[in-house]
Amino acid sequence: MGIGNNSYIISLKYSPGLWKEFTLMGERLRTHDVSVRYLISKKYANIGPAHSGTQYVTSSDRVATILKDVILFNSLKKNILSIFSQSPPKYTCFYNPHPLNPILCYLIKKYYPDSIISLYLHDPFKPDKSHYGMVKSFYIRIVDLVQSKTVKCCDYIISPSDYSAKLFNQRYPKFKGINIVAPLLVPDGEHQNRNKRIYFSIVGTAHQATGHDTFVRLINYVAEKDFPFKFAIISSSNIDSFLNVISEKGKRLLTVINKSIITDQEINNIISQSLAVFRFDKEVTQSGVVPVCYMNATPVIARDIPGLRQHVEHKGNGYLVPYACTPSEIIEAMAFVSANISVLKTNARRSYETIWASDNFDKYYDWLIQSLNR
């Protein structure tokens, strides 16, 4: 490993979808003779074997455990500073908001002023919080406060899309560092193009803003009209409130995978068996589901909002439905996808290879590779 190019990737709060993102960054940096260590929540151990250089420093995964780690910060600080003293950080990248992130940023700048600090900022802010409900909106405001304090210490912000970068510039017009656009890179899995495609699916977190209410209304409509469509839902969220409003006839059309830990293979299996995956989000900066769909050569039917239309090309690699879409308009999209699946699959896969494939790492992160090997 290179001397004096120690890099740290820090995710103090557990978020299963981020694990493959930040480890891809770390392992790619290692191919450029960069020393990488991961300082992360021990909850990531549930996903699978840890990469070398992994140290579990927190237990954060939800509000209660985050508060516990904040209370134990003195012990945590001593542990992390000890790690830094053995291998001084030349570069640190923070993923996932956590109340301790801005404090660690401050300490790094204090003790290692030449160190480069970046934050991978998935959502710089949400312009319209009304879709999330009172509790979720309050949580989003707390996250926004934490992120704003972290941003102040950063040299680089890494934005996953042009739209995200635009929102960042609106939210932080006085930021003195550099805003880099680097899409969410997705490792190329064993996409099963031979799988029979039978579902129209919805994948990932479910709450008021993700459009699962639109999905279940669609299922009831299809069941009532006896249309020949099948559906699938895969989520680690509590989806009982959505399932409870589906008619008995509609439930017979639906395959459900709902448990606390879902593997990438399970997600890829559902996506690769889907004619299309729905993204009915009412407000989103970008979607981490979209590149996984395109990796599996699966088109996306999306609500026509800026955070989705930036990557979903209407009748190209997917289909855009109006914001206030009706079930009949969604049925029209499904019919188009079914009739044009071969072309849409090819275009979806090409989009993945062009934008999100891990081989694009050097293109997006040349600035970092050059800095670390000086």
Among the listed residues 178, 127, 117, the one whose alpha carbon sits nearest the alpha carbon of residue 149:
117
Residues 117-141: tens digit of each pLDDT: 999 998 876 666 566 666 666 666 7
Q: Give the chain's length.
A: 374
Task: Identify the domain containing residue 300 by its residue range.
Answer: 199-355
DSSP letters along 74-96, please? HHHHHHHHHHHHHS--SEEEEES
Triad 366, 372, 374: Cα angle to 5°: 100
> Are 178 and 271 in the same domain?
no
C-alpha distances in Å from residue 302, one per residue of 253, 275, 286, 313, 334: 21, 13, 11, 10, 11
pLDDT band at 16 (very low <50, low <70, confident <90, very high): confident
Q: Is residue 194 part of a domain?
A: no
Asked if residue 339 is part of any domain, the answer here is yes
Within a domain: 190: no
Strand partners, 11: 40
Residues 77 and 143 in one domain: yes
Q: Give yes or no: residues 339 and 226 share one domain.
A: yes
| pLDDT tens-digit map of 292-314 | 999 999 999 999 999 999 999 99
| Pair 348, 362 in one domain | no
Q: How far apart are CA 274 and CA 293, in angstroms?
A: 9
Compute φ and ψ for 198, nearest 5 degrees. -125, -15
| Whole-number Å distance between alpha carbons of 344 and 367 | 34
> pLDDT digits over 97-114, tens only?
999 999 999 999 999 999
54: which strand partners? 38
Same domain, 181 and 150: yes
Name the pairing type of β-strands 156-159 and 91-95: unpaired
Same domain for 166 and 230, yes or no, is no
Same domain? For 304 and 368 the reply is no
Determine the pLDDT at residue 95: 94
Quickly state the pLDDT bin for 286 (edges 50, 70, 90): confident
Residues in Cβ contact with 66 at an 8 Å cutoff, skipping those fewer than 6 apart: 13, 60, 98, 99
Question: Is residue 2 situated within a structural domain?
Answer: no
Task: Report if residue 51 sits inside a domain.
Answer: yes
Question: Could you give the 3-state DSSP secondary structure of residue 366?
Answer: helix
- By the 8 A CB rule, do 126 and 273 touch? no
Instruction: Let me know the angle formed at the C-alpha of 209 by 160 and 44, rounded to the nearest 5 degrees.
Output: 55
DSSP assignment of 346-359? HHHHHHIIIIIBGG
For residue 263, the surrounding DSSP H or E stretch is none
Confirm if 345 and 316 have CB atoms less than 8 A apart. no
pLDDT in tens, 353-366: 999 999 999 999 99
pLDDT at 2: 38
Q: Which position has the token pair 């729905």?
A: 278
pLDDT digits (tens, 9 = 90+) for 45-70: 988 788 999 999 999 988 899 999 89
pLDDT band at 4 (very low <50, low <70, confident <90, very high): low
192 domain-assigned: no
174 and 221 in a single domain? The answer is no
Angle at 345 between CA 340 and CA 350, to 5 degrees: 135
Pair (36, 98) in one structural domain: yes
Q: Please check whether residues 304 and 331 belong to one and the same domain.
A: yes
In a domain, 67, yes or no: yes
Tell me what the mean pLDDT of segment 245-251 comes to: 97
Average pLDDT score, the chain: 91
| Encoded amino acid at 244, one letter | N
Task: In whole angstroms, give the CA distance from residue 293 to residue 204.
Answer: 12
Query: Same domain for 334 and 365?
Result: no
Residues 170 and 275 in one domain: no
- The two structure tokens encoding residue 356: 């999100």
- 63 exposure class (CB count in 10 Å sphere: 0-12, 13-18, 19+): exposed
**Digit-coded pLDDT (tens) for 144-174:** 777 889 999 999 999 999 999 999 999 999 9
Burial class (CB in 10 A: 0-12, 13-18, 19+), 260: exposed
Residue 193 is assigned to a structural domain of this protein: no
pLDDT (average), residues 263-283? 93
CATH number of the domain that residue 150 is part of: 3.40.50.2000
Counting the structural domains of the chain, the total is 2
Give the CA angle between residues 180, 346, 191 to the nearest 5°: 80
